[in-house]
Structures are given as C-alpha cells and as structure tokens.
Chains A and B, each alone.
Chain A
Amino acid sequence: MSPKTLYDKIWDAHVAHEAEDGTCLLYIDRHLVHEVTSPQAFEGLRMTNRTVRAPDKTIAVPDHNVPTTLDRAKGIENPESRIQVEALDKNAADFGIHYYPVSDVRQGIVHIVGPEQGWTLPGMTVVCGDSHTATHGAFGALAHGIGTSEVEHVLATQTLIQRKGKNMKVEITGKLRPGVTAKDITLSVIGATGTAGGTGYVIEYCGEAIRDLSMEGRMTVCNMAIEGGARAGLIAPDEKTFEYCKGRPHAPKGAQWEAALAWWKTLYSDDDAHWDKVITLKGEDIAPVVTWGTSPEDVLPITANVPAASDFTGGKVDAAQRSLDYMGLTPGTPLSEVEIDTVFIGSCTNGRIEDLRAAAAILKGKKVKDGLRAMIVPGSGLVRAQAEEEGLADIFKEAGFEWRLAGCSMCLAMNPDQLSPGERCAATSNRNFEGRQGRGGRTHLMSPAMAAAAAITGKLTDVREMM
C-alpha cells in the first residue's frame, strides 16, 4: 500500500461516493451548529420538506450573539440577536438535535464545547458553519468550516461534496523558549506563509514543539489554520489526545473505547508520505509576537518596531499603508511603546482553562492599569466553573478584570461587547481585520500571557520582562 498522510487516511475512511471526475461525497461524523449561520439552512429544509438525516451526529449551541454579562438570564436586549438565538432553540427542538441552550452550564463557544463534551474524537470528520472549525483538528480529526448552503447540505445528507485538498506539513522543531506559547507558534506560521499560504491545503502540524503542547495549546494552533488560508489544520493523536478524550460524556466507553483506541493509534502520517508543501520553523527562533496591522499575517516579535509600507512589495505596499493609517501607527515606533485602551482575553482561540491559567500567572497580585477596560470571557460555562474552583477568577477580579459568562463576545462583537472607533485592544482572539471588534476599533492579536502583561502596563509588553 502506498504511504499516506494522516489527512489521506481520514479522507479515505470517509468517502461515501466518488464520481468519475474525482468529485466525492465525504461522510460527516459530527456537525456542529450555532445560531448565526444555521437559520437559513433549517428554513431551507422546511421549504423542501427535508429532515435532518443524522440528528444524533448534530450538536447545536448558541455562542456568537449571547450576552456575556452576569445578568444575561434577563434575556437578550437586541431584538435581532434574540430572534436568532430563539430560532436555534426552535430548530434544535423541531429537528431533534443535541442542544446546549444559553441556560445550560455546558453552553459556550461551539469549538470549546465540542471537545469538552467528547463529541470531537480522533479520525472523525467534523464540520460547522464557522471558519474556526479547524480547532478540532487538534484531535487528529479532519475539521473545517463551511457556508450555510453546505450546512443545509450536511443537515439533509450527512455528506459534503468535496474534492481532496493538497497536503502541507508545518514542522516546528525543538523546544520553545520561556514566554513563548501556542499562540506565538500559530501567529508566527501565518507570518511566515502569509494569509493565503495554505489555500488549497490541509495542514498537518508536527515536530517536537507541537508534541510538547497540551491539547489546549494544540487547539490554539489548529484554530488559526484558516488565517493562513488552510481550511483545515490537524495534529496526529497521541497519548495526550487519548488521555484528554477518555471519560468525556460522549467519548466511547469499555470495549468500544478499546476498539476506538486501536484505530486511533494508526492515525499518523507514514514516514515516506508525499507532501505538496513543507514549512519548517525552529521552536527556539519563535518569540512572543503581536500583530501590528489589519491582517493576521502582519506579525512581528514584540521587540520589533512598527514597519513602513516601503518595507513591503507588490500589493502589500498599499495594504500596509492602509493598515498603518487604520491602526494609527507611525513607522519606526517600538511596538512595546504602543498604548492600549482595552484588553480582551477569550475566544475559541484562547478561551480554554490553560489560557486562563497563563493569564492568571502574570496577573497574580497585580493591578490593571488605571483607566483601562479589561475583560476575561471564558470559552464555556465549564471553563468558567473550573477557573472559579482553581481560584483564577479571584485573581482576575482582584486585578480589576471583568469576569464574564461564556460566549464569543468581543472576538467578533456581535453581542454588546464592542470597541469604539479608535479604541485600541490587546486581544487573544484570531482576527485583526478592520472593524472586526467594532467599527474603527484597532486590534492587536497576541497570547493570553502577553495580553495580561499589556493589561498591567497599559501598552504592548514583552511578557518575558514579567516572568
């Protein structure tokens, strides 16, 4: 048998039909659903008298629109947001799919809830009408975002019409230096490849620095595969993966666990598998980074200066100038002198327990800079409960952070958590696009530890100075 990559193996195990021209029907094991990209799909089913083919494999949770303030039990004020969440309540009930409503302690960001509840397992195909579905690739699952028409297609047929993508290997060799995290890895990869470097590929992240990451860290890395253009990023499962999955509510038990484990252990890329593209970074070369512009590829070490448009070539010259104007930055300014107004720690990229522990380690016994707005939004109700049990919530509150309920919150600002025009934010989320966190808002992406450090000093800060 010819050698295969991990992606090849998962793909081959899920082809339900292949046409002569190579167009395939890929069977979907888990379909995650949230309120923003699904209402039109359910409406489409109703209009055509179709049903959900596999309701047992379909899991829904509202996350984008939900308020994260402590008084959210009183309901959603914005009528459109409320209608969207109510539509999901109704669709979940009408079509009999698994559902975690706003009132459920397990509610949270769909990409945090899936793994937490054991829905996401190695070797699965996972889709969701959300580009950050790549997160689930951390388990050695083939996971990617789809549009609403495809959501409807999966609801109706449990398959997707697909052509196979190409294989790209991203290897991070050696050890990371102190203060460097999974977020710095994933941002540095995007900085190296550009936001279109992964277009048409499925990325497999590998190498010692990736193996050394916890499952939380691996999810952070895979989460941002899409920011590098790749629909999916994945990591071969290992003992850490199996340990994370074991005992989760929807993970297999007993003899089924043993059978699953036996298959999962075959899920790795063969030594002489073919790669269409290979990128290698040395773990020890990666520094704590921040973004300076309005594209996730605009990545620099915190020790660098704001670049000038003339440092770039081609279409990037105009793009860089537009970014500098939008961000209100002057070329040559040390990044560590850029003052911020707001800190946002949370999102499907960095809203897990380990992210909160990293932030708490920096914030312990410290205070948020006077006048700064700082909020921590845990990724799920269970992450929030665990952080309270571990005493992290007390550290955040004593430091002056708002301690919120779970949701997507200021990552995309569909709920009331938004930036004002010109407001500058140190954010642990995934996109620094113009207007992403609020019209005119300025976003600098970084790790939770870096965001915590920025909260203390009131400017972009090298976390290594605080360790």
Chain B
Amino acid sequence: MEKFEKLSGIAAPMPMINIDTDMIIPKQFLKTIKRSGLGVNLFDEMRYGDDGKEIPDFVLNKPQYREAQILIAGDNFGCGSSREHAPWAIKDFGIRCVIAPSFADIFYNNCFKNGILPIALPQEQVDVLMKEAEKGANARVEIDLEAQTVSTSDGEIFAFEVDAFKKHCLLEGLDDIGLTMEKAASIDAFEAKAAQARPWV
C-alpha cells in the first residue's frame, strides 16, 4: 500500500451531506474485476451529462480543481453500499484525503486499506476549510499525519484524531494481511478452542 505521510494540495469543496457510495461510483462501474482505472468515473452521474460530456459546473470539472488531492465534504460522507470501488475511484482520480464532519463506518475503514486518509473535524472547522477550498488553486491545504494536523494557507491549524494502529499502517504503508499472519499462532489456538466449545460452527 502507498504510504501517507504529508500532503500539500488543492482541496475541492463539495458542500453536500450524505454523499453516498452510489454517487461516488455508480453501479455500472462495479463490474470490473480490477482495482484500477475507476478515477475517470468518480462521481460519474454528477460529472457527466447524458451525452457523456463533462458538466462544467461540477466541481472536479472546473479548471482549478482538476488536480485536487483533497476533498472537503458534508456530514456522513461515504454512506450506503460497502463497495471499495468508492475509495478506489477516489484514489485513482488522485485524491488522497477526504475531510468531513463525519463518515460512514465501512467507507472510513476502506479508505485506510487504500492509502487514503479520511479526517473527521467539527462542523465549524470543516466550514473554514470549505471556504478555503473555494479559493481553488490559490490556497493549498496541508496535512501532516504524523503530527495529526490540517493547516490552511492562512496559517490556521486544526488537530485531528486517528486510531493509532490505522495511523501506523498508513505512515508505513503496511499490508494488514501480512501483519495478521504474524499472529497465526493466536488464530490457531483460538480455532482449536472454538472447535471444542462450538463444534457445530
């Protein structure tokens, strides 16, 4: 997995609540058997018209946000379907960090497996960042995972919380399956014990 340490980039504003994973990547793109190549279809139905042409008003189609690496959004980002195609599409587009007042659980977890950092901040801080993002390429937002801070171009600094284990895996780019396999003895022991206690399982 790609490491995440620091990021300084353009932030795109999406001031909507309940952005669901069907919006992030509609079902017709779930037919792939690969993880890559979904960036072009990120937010497909909001981004392209019926004729397949870009809708100029959509934030990621605007010239100043085409290179965005950070997304600022409303409450309950990533709700709905568990499809990991949502973070795959976000990553493939080039976005490495999503900032919102809250996230849906499954999406939040899926981000960490793909080198994306989801950051939950209080509404008033997200409001500040949303305003900052509206400045487009004139304002770069900086994220420091080690220090757990988000900084604006005006020098405002917001601290964020992140689970220590998830942070460690992201900083080091670790593969969790490999880490779990190091604990195979514990899993073997549990399995043997459970087979005695609940043989019908």
- Closest chain B residue, CB of each to CB of A251: B200
Interchain CB contact under 8 A, A252 and B200: yes
Contacts of B16 in A (CB 8 A): 315, 318-319, 322
Interchain CB contact under 8 A, B33 and A146: no
Interface string of B10-43 (1 = CB under 8 A from A): 0000011110101100111011111100000000
Taking the nearest CB of chain A, how far is it from the CB of B61, in angstroms?
A: 18
Interchain CB contact under 8 A, A121 and B102: no
Given the complex of chains A and B, what is the CA–CA distance between A29 and B82 in angstroms? 20
A256 at interface by CB-CB < 8 Å: yes
Point out the residue from B104, B106, B163 that lies within 8 Å of A146, measured CB to CB: B106
Interface string of A136-176 (1 = CB under 8 A from B): 00000000111111101100111101010000000000000
Interface string of B182-201 (1 = CB under 8 A from A): 01101101110010011111
Interchain CB contact under 8 A, B198 and A16: no
Interface string of A252-269 (1 = CB under 8 A from B): 100011011001000000
A17 and B113 contact, Cβ closer than 8 Å, known pairs A196-B79, A229-B76, A433-B22: no
Interface size on A, residues (CB 8 A): 79
A384 at interface by CB-CB < 8 Å: no
Interchain CB contact under 8 A, A146 and B82: yes
Contacts of A19 in B (CB 8 A): 165
Point out the residue from A50, A65, A149, A295 that lies within 8 Å of B31, measured CB to CB: A65
Point out the residue from A17, A146, A263 that lies within 8 Å of B187, measured CB to CB: A17
Interchain CB contact under 8 A, A200 and B113: no
Point out the residue from B18, B164, B194, B200 that lies within 8 Å of A27, measured CB to CB: B194
Interchain CB contact under 8 A, A295 and B18: yes
Given the complex of chains A and B, what is the CA–CA distance between A231 and B186 in angstroms? 26
Contacts of B26 in A (CB 8 A): 435, 439
A199 and B80 contact, Cβ closer than 8 Å, known pairs A16-B186, A21-B164, A83-B33: no
Interchain CB contact under 8 A, A152 and B165: no
A40 at interface by CB-CB < 8 Å: yes
A124 at interface by CB-CB < 8 Å: yes
B92 at interface by CB-CB < 8 Å: no
B81 at interface by CB-CB < 8 Å: yes
Interchain CB contact under 8 A, B31 and A84: yes
Interchain CB contact under 8 A, B187 and A157: yes
Beta-carbon contacts under 8 Å, A334-356 to B:
none
- Closest chain B residue, CB of each to CB of A199: B105
Contacts of B23 in A (CB 8 A): 433-435
A240 at interface by CB-CB < 8 Å: no
Taking the nearest CB of chain A, how far is it from the CB of B26, in angstroms?
A: 6
Taking the nearest CB of chain A, how far is it from the CB of B164, in angstroms?
A: 5
Contacts of B50 in A (CB 8 A): 421, 439
Contacts of A199 in B (CB 8 A): 76, 102-105
A315 and B200 contact, Cβ closer than 8 Å, known pairs A196-B104, A199-B105: no
Interface string of A8-25 (1 = CB under 8 A from B): 000001011101010101
B147 at interface by CB-CB < 8 Å: no
Interchain CB contact under 8 A, B106 and A145: yes
Interchain CB contact under 8 A, A25 and B104: no
A149 and B84 contact, Cβ closer than 8 Å, known pairs A163-B163, A229-B104: yes
Contacts of A129 in B (CB 8 A): 82, 84
A2 at interface by CB-CB < 8 Å: no
Contacts of B194 in A (CB 8 A): 27
Interchain CB contact under 8 A, B22 and A435: yes
Contacts of A259 in B (CB 8 A): 199-200
Given the complex of chains A and B, what is the CA–CA distance between A431 and B20 in angstroms? 10
Given the complex of chains A and B, what is the CA–CA distance between A443 and B175 in angstroms? 40
Taking the nearest CB of chain A, how far is it from the CB of B78, in angstroms?
A: 11
Contacts of A113 in B (CB 8 A): none
Point out the residue from A146, A159, A161, A414 that lies within 8 Å of B30, measured CB to CB: A414
Taking the nearest CB of chain B, how far is it from the CB of A137, in angstroms?
A: 15
Interchain CB contact under 8 A, B200 and A260: yes
Interface string of A50-67 (1 = CB under 8 A from B): 100100010000001100
B47 at interface by CB-CB < 8 Å: no
Taking the nearest CB of chain A, how far is it from the CB of B90, in angstroms?
A: 13
**Besides the known contacts A36-B30, A150-B110, 16 further A-B residue pairs in the complex with CB atoms under 8 A apart:** A21-B165, A36-B83, A40-B34, A121-B201, A130-B81, A145-B106, A147-B84, A147-B109, A149-B110, A153-B176, A195-B76, A196-B102, A196-B104, A227-B80, A231-B106, A412-B81
Binding site for A on B (CB under 8 A): 15-18, 20, 22-23, 26-28, 30-35, 45, 50, 74-76, 79-84, 87, 102-106, 109-110, 113-114, 163-165, 176-177, 180-181, 183-184, 186-187, 189-191, 194, 197-201
A-B contact pairs, 26 of them (CB 8 A): A16-B186, A27-B187, A50-B177, A57-B201, A64-B30, A65-B31, A84-B31, A131-B81, A131-B82, A146-B82, A147-B109, A147-B113, A148-B84, A158-B191, A161-B165, A196-B75, A196-B76, A196-B102, A199-B105, A226-B106, A229-B79, A315-B17, A315-B75, A319-B17, A433-B20, A436-B27
